[in-house]
């Protein structure tokens, strides 16, 4: 690793002032050249950032630590309900109630604000989140390894760079790093996308992003000037057809401050399932999040089915949703949704194996979200 200066940010405004470039922009610089003095990057848990630096893919002159900024590490239940405020120091709604990572006493009618520095371990362990947003808690619990989850933050997880091995290799100057070639289409593409490849076949690396898109989450971004914007996560994550050189709409001079979840409808239930080569310490080869809301007659009145590790962004399986809408959720409907989810896939030479896995995960996640027994479990 190269030498770099270290700076402790004390506030979001200070960090945003210092963040003159995003990591995606900084990685377009020629790695053989010394770091430019204005190459200043933000660090949360540091798992991905230091990995890029150790591989000499990123050579910042200065690293700005976000971990000591107050107010970015809370999970705030019931935003907007007028509950008592207790230590909500983030930039979210003042009529909010902060909870520790173990507080399950929140009500059930309103949204949630999750600070960007909340760790994956805290997300996985939060009882009220698990009860109302099960898919998110399960996605966090299945990410990486127990040790990594203690350090990795939600913000950093959403902003981590892709795992494509050509992208991670200093010897391959591929299109995502400013080159003019994608090595994956004719190369080793076992772990690459089966949908949505537009000159680049990465899969989005964040496991929690699959669940968050299904849950219709938004991200909150703040600037040095004190302004902020919130964007649907599904719009914030950028596919290669929009820009092949970045995965998000994070702009220089912005800090991701929070993820916002809409209120969970009383009848809504969610499920998340992941398949990886190893049960821990590994990214998904396929994952699925399902959010289902059924009417009193048992028919599905709202559904989201999102595929992870399948495309450069979490991939909304609209055809699977259409199969389920208005139906009673039973094993036949779940199986049909699984098959519909993979219609239109365009697998590469080495990754068609992902399609039956995705179909099976959709089928199982639909049944799990509906609370319906899976007849194939009995076999």
Instruction: Choose the binding region for ligand SF4 from 72-80, 118-126, 160-168, 256-264 (rule: CB under 6 A).
Output: 160-168
Nearest to 176 by CA among 85, 95, 104, 243: 243
Nearer CB in complex with ligand SF4: 27/144? 27
Instruction: State the Cα–Cα distance between residues 196 and 307, nearest whole angstrom.
Output: 12
Q: How far is the CB of 275 from ligand FAD (least distance, A)?
A: 11
Instruction: State the Cα–Cα distance between residues 156 and 216, nearest whole angstrom.
Output: 19
Residues 6+ away with beta carbon under 8 Å from 199: 175, 182, 240, 241, 244
Q: Is 308 in the site for ligand FAD (CB under 6 A)?
A: no
Q: How far is the CB of 44 from ligand FAD (least distance, A)?
A: 3
The pair phi, psi for residue 246, each rounded to 5°, is: -150, 155
Q: Is 153 in the site for ligand FAD (CB under 6 A)?
A: yes
x/- string (CB under 6 A) for ligand SF4, residues 201-230?
xx----------------------------
Interface residue with ligand FAD, options 233, 238, 255, 289 (CB under 6 A): 255
Nearest to 19 by CA among 38, 41, 48: 41
Judged by beta carbon distances under 5 to 8 A according to partner kind, the member of ligand SF4, ligand FAD, none in contact with residue 202 is ligand SF4
CA distances (Å), origin 24, targets 42, 58, 59, 117, 193: 12, 9, 12, 20, 20
Helix (H, G, I), strand (E, B) or coil at 82: coil
Q: Is 52 in the site for ligand SF4 (CB under 6 A)?
A: no
CA 287 to chain centre: 12
C-beta neighbour count of 301 within 10 angstroms: 15
Nearer CB in complex with ligand SF4: 167/236? 167
* Contacts to ligand FAD by CB under 6 A: 23, 41-49, 66, 116, 143-144, 148, 152-153, 155-157, 159-160, 205-207, 255-256, 281-283
* Contacts to ligand SF4 by CB under 6 A: 162, 164, 166-167, 174-176, 182-184, 200-202
């Amino acid at each position: 690793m190269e030498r770099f200066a270290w700076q402790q940010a004390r506030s979001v405004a200070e960090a945003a002032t210092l963040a003159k470039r995003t990591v995606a922009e900084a990685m377009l610089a020629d790695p053989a050249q010394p770091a430019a003095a204005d190459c200043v990057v933000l660090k949360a848990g540091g798992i991905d950032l230091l990995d890029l630096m150790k591989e000499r893919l990123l050579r910042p002159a200065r690293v700005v630590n976000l971990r000591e900024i107050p107010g970015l590490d809370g999970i705030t239940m019931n935003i907007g309900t007028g509950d008592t405020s207790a230590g909500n120091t983030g930039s979210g709604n003042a009529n909010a109630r902060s909870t520790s990572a173990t507080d399950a006493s929140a009500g059930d009618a309103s949204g949630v604000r999750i600070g960007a520095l909340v760790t994956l371990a805290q997300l996985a362990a939060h009882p009220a989140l698990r009860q109302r947003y099960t898919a998110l808690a399960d996605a966090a619990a299945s990410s990486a390894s127990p040790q990594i989850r203690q350090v990795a933050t939600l913000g950093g997880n959403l902003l981590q760079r892709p795992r494509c091995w050509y992208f991670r290799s200093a010897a391959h100057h591929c299109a995502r790093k400013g080159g003019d070639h994608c090595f994956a289409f004719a190369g080793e593409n076992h772990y690459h996308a089966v949908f949505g490849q537009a000159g680049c076949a990465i899969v989005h690396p964040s496991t929690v992003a699959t669940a968050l898109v299904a849950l219709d989450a938004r991200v909150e971004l703040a600037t040095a000037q004190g302004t902020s914007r919130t964007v649907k996560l599904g719009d914030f994550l950028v596919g290669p057809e929009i820009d092949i050189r970045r995965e998000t709409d994070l702009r220089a001079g912005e800090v991701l401050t929070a993820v916002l979840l809409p209120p969970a409808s009383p009848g809504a239930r969610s499920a998340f399932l992941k398949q990886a080569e190893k049960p821990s310490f590994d990214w998904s080869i396929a994952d699925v999040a399902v959010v289902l809301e059924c009417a009193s007659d048992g028919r599905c009145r709202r559904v989201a089915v999102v595929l992870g590790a399948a495309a450069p962004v979490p991939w909304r399986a609209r055809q699977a949703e259409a199969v389920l809408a208005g139906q009673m959720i039973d094993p036949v409907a779940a199986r049909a949704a699984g098959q519909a989810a993979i219609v239109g896939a365009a697998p590469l030479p080495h990754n068609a194996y992902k399609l039956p896995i995705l179909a099976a995960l959709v089928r199982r996640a639909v049944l799990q979200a509906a609370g319906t027994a899976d007849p194939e479990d009995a076999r």
